[in-house]
Amino acid sequence: MALAYLLGKGASKVLRTKINIPLLLVLSILPDIDLVFEVLFRFPIHRGPTHSIVMALMVFIPFFIYYRKKSVPYFLGFISHFLIGDFIVGGQLMLLWPLSFSQFGLHELGFLFIDIYSPVNVALELSLFLIGLVVLIVSRDWRVFFGGDLSNFVLIIPLTTVLLPSTIGYPFTNSLFLVEPLLALAHIFYLVLFSFAVVVALCSFFRKKNKRCSTNM
């Protein structure tokens, strides 16, 4: 999420477009929706079609045509998940599905296999988290989470994806607190921030609804 935020933020600066940060964060984790299918249908599909650059381009073509440069930061946030994150960590990506079923990744190119608990990954993830946090503070983007905008409801999705690994441990075998406490702390930060944003959006929703009711009366 931090990587997508940094790329999306950079692109929005260069292209002079506005970005919806909660939406960008959701898109950055969306490729892992295949984990849900894996659980529901017990079919090994993770890192398959939803992690394909061909599929990503096909899905984004209508957005490129309609929203033009406004869609670029979101596209970058989406593809950064597998073209950078998963490519370095774990690999085994069907990047060219359905044109090819071959698997890609740093390891497949002959480099060392980096798994999620590897010190290299922990260092990379924490660095990105901290850089993202600094940019969020310096650019004053943090205000987005406290504004009560109804689009903040989409944060329920990343809220779940940081809640599950840090508590029950899904999709890993144990809670992140037990196996990688440093990464768990980053998860908890997002957990608190997103929970707060959703609660503020909920309050704002009911406040608007009540105001409408009293105006109608």
Tokens of 107: 């390891």
115 or 139: CB nearest Zn ion: 115
32 counts as binding Zn ion under rule CB under 5 A: yes
Closest CA to 78 of 11, 116, 26, 21: 26
Q: How many residues bind Zn ion (CB under 5 A)?
A: 3
Count CB atoms within 10 A of the CB of residue 157: 16
Q: List the one residue from 19, 26, 86, 193 that touches Zn ion (CB under 5 A).
A: 86
**Long-range pairs, 130-136, Cβ under 8 A, ≥24:** 131/2, 131/6, 132/1, 132/2, 132/3, 132/5, 132/6, 133/2, 133/189, 135/5, 135/6, 135/9, 136/5
31 or 105: CB nearest Zn ion: 31
125 counts as binding Zn ion under rule CB under 5 A: no
Quick check: helix, strand or coil at residue 104? strand
34 counts as binding Zn ion under rule CB under 5 A: no
88 or 156: CB nearest Zn ion: 88
86 or 180: CB nearest Zn ion: 86
Which region, judged by CB under 5 A, interacts with Zn ion, from 86-94, 116-124, 171-179, 194-202? Answer: 86-94
The CB-of-82 to Zn ion minimum distance in angstroms stands at 6
- Partner residues linked to 104 by β-bridges: 93
124 or 202: CB nearest Zn ion: 124
**CB of 186 within 8 A of CB of 122?**
no
**CB of 146 within 8 A of CB of 196?**
yes
14 or 36: CB nearest Zn ion: 36
- Rounded to the nearest 10°, the torsion over CA 3, 130, 164, 113 is 60
180 counts as binding Zn ion under rule CB under 5 A: no
The CB-of-47 to Zn ion minimum distance in angstroms stands at 6
Which region, judged by CB under 5 A, interacts with Zn ion, from 21-29, 84-92, 111-119, 182-190? Answer: 84-92
Which region, judged by CB under 5 A, interacts with Zn ion, from 82-90, 134-142, 164-172, 179-187? Answer: 82-90
Residues that bind Zn ion (CB under 5 A): 31-32, 86
